[in-house]
Amino acid sequence: MNYRVIIPKPVQKQLNNLPKQQRERLITAIGLLTDTPRPRGVKKLKGYDDTYRIRIGDDRIIYKIQDKEMLIIILSSIHRKDAY
């Protein structure tokens, strides 16, 4: 069974402001989360419940997994330099 992905409007705006190639790479990675919400290389964020970070090149996708509802909520898509 696949998870459903929710991308809130502010995150959609972040993605839309990226160059096309970068945006497509991130959207592809987000789509893959529906099958595997905790892929290889994912990091659980300390101090947060069910919140994870995945690295896509120099970008980071921060997302929350709600297993009971089979739901993934994308919280942010940011460049590495802005993440830390």
Q: What is the pLDDT of residues 32-65, one digit of tens each?
A: 999 999 999 999 999 999 999 999 988 999 999 9
Longest CA pairwise span in the chain (Å): 35
pLDDT confidence of residue 83: 58
Question: pLDDT category, 1, cuts 50, 70, 90?
Answer: confident
| Alpha carbons 39 and 52: distance in angstroms, whole number | 10
Residues in the chain: 84
CATH class label, 4-83:
alpha beta
| C-alpha closest to that of 54 among 5, 20, 2 | 5
pLDDT confidence of residue 69: 95
| C-alpha closest to that of 80 among 65, 63, 61 | 61
